[in-house]
Amino acid sequence: MKRFLASCLVLACASCVAPAYNDSQFASKAAKTAQDAASAIETARLALQLDLRHGLPEQPIDSSMSDQEDALGSVAGTFSSVQPPQTKASDDLRNSVLDLLDAAQSHMEDARIALRRGDVPAALHALDEAEPQAQKLHAIAEKY
Partner 1 sequence: MKKALAITLGVVTSIGGFFDMGSIVLTGQTGARFGFSLVWVVALATITIVLYAEMAGRIATLSKRPVFDVVRERLGPGFGLANLGASFLINVITLVAEIAGVAIAFQLVTGVTYYLWVPLALILAFFVLWKVKFERMERAVGILGLTMLVFAVAMWRLHPDWSSVLHQTLLPSKPSSETLASYLYVGVALFGSAITPYELFFYSSGAVEEGWNKSDLLSNRISSYAGFIFGAVLSVTAIGVAALIFQPRHIGVHDLSTIALGPTFVLGKLGLAAFLIGLFMTTFGATLEVTLSNGYIVSQYFGWPWGKMLRPKQAARFNLVMIVSLLIGAFIVLTSLDPVAVTDIAMVFAAVGLPLTYFPILVVANDREYMGESGNGKVLNVVASVFLVVICIIALAAIPLMIWTKLGT
- Residue ranges that bind partner 1, judged by CB under 8 A: 32, 35-36, 38-39, 42-43, 46-47, 50, 53-60, 62-64, 67-68, 71, 138, 141-142
Alpha carbon 89 to chain centroid, angstroms: 21
Rounded to a whole number of angstroms, the minimum distance from the CB of residue 71 to partner 1 is 6
CA distance 143 to 34: 11
Return all residues near 44 (Cβ < 8 A) that are at least 6 apart: 64, 65, 68, 69, 108, 111, 127
Select from 102, 75, 54 the least CA-distant residue to 46.
Answer: 54
126 or 137, CB closer to partner 1?
Answer: 137
Task: Please state the closest distance from residue 126 (CB atom) to partner 1, in A.
Answer: 18
If the CB atoms of residues 126 and 141 are measured against partner 1, the closer one turns out to be: 141
In angstroms, rounded to a whole number, what is the distance separating the alpha carbons of residues 24 and 142? Answer: 14
| Minimum gap (Å) between residue 63 Cβ and partner 1 | 5
User: Measured from the CB of residue 48, what is the shortest distance to partner 1 in angstroms?
Assistant: 10
The smaller minimum CB distance to partner 1, of residues 60 and 95, is found at: 60
Q: Determine the Cα–Cα distance for residues 80 and 120; give it in Å rounded to an integer.
A: 31
Nearer Cβ to partner 1 (63/87): 63
